[in-house]
């Protein structure tokens, strides 16, 4: 196989990953690293670099559509980006010193968690009614459009959310993914933001978080143009197409199938990490 053929295959693989990722809400970036390492034998460092680039592309590409709906909370997003960018830079720096087999094992665990998080049923619990001191100080409370007009909501547990966001940033920097599942965990479960607000705000933040670690990866020489080109264009094209399909598609079955695939990839990453397939 020469570079031309490899680029074609990578483009098609990334296109499918981006399409399924945006249709199911898991994000295309999450399967890029397993696709490149397990499928094409690419070194995991190059794979993480290419994945980060695709994550920035999808986040920024999708944001334009989200913004119109008015769900995201820019203050919550911006405040928490302090935590995610510090985490992302720290993660990108630490990644250079971690054993590759460890990175693969952590990656597998995160894939398993992401798969679980995507099939878990979610219902908006009744949010807090009492104002939270820190949230009020930071003016984090907001409102979002519903069928019954604008619905105000309150934010709580800011320190817990901030710490979880730091973790999401570290994972993003080490693994080259958007860490959407952890971001939603922080806003959805800890800070009790309504589901739609946390999802769209998370998407908004993913690009900024990934950009913070991408700078470190680029400077360190982990981003290869020949790999990044087909992966970025493929994932971007796939996710934009997926977003267009989303309106009319019945995604429940698809999401379960894709989650199983993601979980299996997670197990395979862990297995390969344990048997030492990823060596320096």
Partner 1 sequence: MKAPAPAMSDKRAEEIIGILLRTGVTIAAIVVFAAGIPYLIQHGSAKPDYHIFQSEPNHLRHISGIVKSSIALDPAAIIQLGILILIATPVARVAFSVFAFAEERDWMYVVVTLIVLALLLFSLSATNL
Contact residues: partner 1, CB under 8 A: 1-4, 6-7, 40-43, 45-46, 53, 56-57, 59-61, 63-68, 70, 72, 74-75, 78-79, 81-82, 85-86, 88-89, 92-93, 138-139, 207-208, 210-216, 218-230, 232-233, 236
Alpha carbon distance 67, 252 (integer Å): 25
Judge contact between 205 and 60, C-beta under 8 A. Answer: no
CB of 137 to partner 1, least distance (A): 9
| Closest distance to partner 1 from the beta carbon of 236 (Å) | 6
**Residue nearer to partner 1 on the CB measure, 88 or 263:** 88
Residue in this structure with the two tokens 């483009």, named with its chain if needed = 11
> CB of residue 210 vs partner 1: minimum separation in angstroms?
8
Q: Which is nearer to partner 1, 31 or 233 (CB)?
A: 233
Question: Based on CB atoms, which residue is closest to partner 1, 89 or 110?
Answer: 89
Alpha-carbon distance 259 to 101, whole Å?
23
User: Count of CB atoms within 10 A of residue 237's CB?
Assistant: 17
Please, what is the minimum distance in Å from the beta carbon of residue 123 to partner 1? Answer: 27
Closest CA to 139 of 154, 161, 124: 154
CB closer to partner 1 out of 71 and 258: 71
User: 169: helix, coil or strand?
Assistant: helix
Compare residues 74 and 257 and give the one whose CB is closer to partner 1: 74
Neighbours of 138 (CB within 10 A): 14
CB of 255 to partner 1, least distance (A): 25
Smallest distance, partner 1 to C-beta of residue 244, A: 14
DSSP code for 219 = H
Nearest to 177, CA basis, from 49, 42, 273, 79: 49
Instruction: Select 84 or 156, whichever has its Cβ closest to partner 1.
Output: 84
- Phi (first) and psi of residue 142, to 5 degrees: -155, -165
Q: How far is the CB of 266 from partner 1 (least distance, A)?
A: 22
Helix (H) or strand (E) holding 141: none
* Cβ distance to partner 1 smaller for residue 185 or 216: 216
Burial level of 55, CB count in 10 A (0-12/13-18/19+)? Answer: buried
Which residues are CB-contacts of 31 (< 8 A; sequence separation ≥ 6)?
Answer: 17, 20, 21, 261, 262, 265
DSSP class of 125: P
């Amino acid at each position: 196989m020469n570079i031309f053929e490899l680029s074609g295959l990578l483009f098609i693989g990334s296109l499918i990953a981006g399409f399924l990722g945006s249709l199911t809400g898991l994000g295309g970036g999450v399967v890029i690293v397993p696709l490149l390492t397990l499928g094409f034998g690419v070194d995991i460092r190059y794979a993480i670099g290419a994945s980060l680039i695709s994550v920035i592309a999808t986040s920024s590409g999708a944001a334009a559509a989200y913004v119109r709906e008015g769900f995201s909370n820019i203050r919550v997003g911006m405040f928490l980006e302090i935590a995610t960018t510090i985490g992302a830079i720290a993660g990108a720096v630490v990644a250079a010193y971690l054993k590759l087999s460890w990175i693969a094992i952590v990656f597998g665990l995160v894939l398993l968690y992401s798969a679980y998080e995507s099939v878990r049923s979610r219902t908006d619990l009744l949010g807090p009614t009492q104002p939270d001191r820190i949230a009020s100080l930071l003016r984090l409370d907001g409102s979002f459009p519903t069928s019954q007009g604008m619905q105000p909501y309150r934010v709580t547990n800011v320190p817990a959310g901030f710490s979880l966001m730091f973790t999401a940033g570290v994972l993003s920097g080490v693994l080259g993914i958007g860490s959407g599942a952890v971001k939603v965990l922080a806003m959805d479960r800890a800070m009790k933001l309504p589901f739609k607000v946390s999802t769209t705000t998370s998407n908004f933040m993913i690009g900024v978080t990934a950009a913070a670690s991408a700078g470190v990866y680029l400077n360190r020489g982990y981003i290869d143009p020949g790999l990044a080109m087909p992966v970025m264009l493929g994932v971007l094209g796939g996710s934009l197409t997926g977003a267009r399909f989303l309106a009319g598609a019945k995604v429940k079955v698809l999401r379960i199938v894709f989650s199983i695939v993601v979980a299996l990839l997670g197990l395979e990453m862990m297995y390969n990490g344990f048997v030492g397939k990823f060596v320096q």
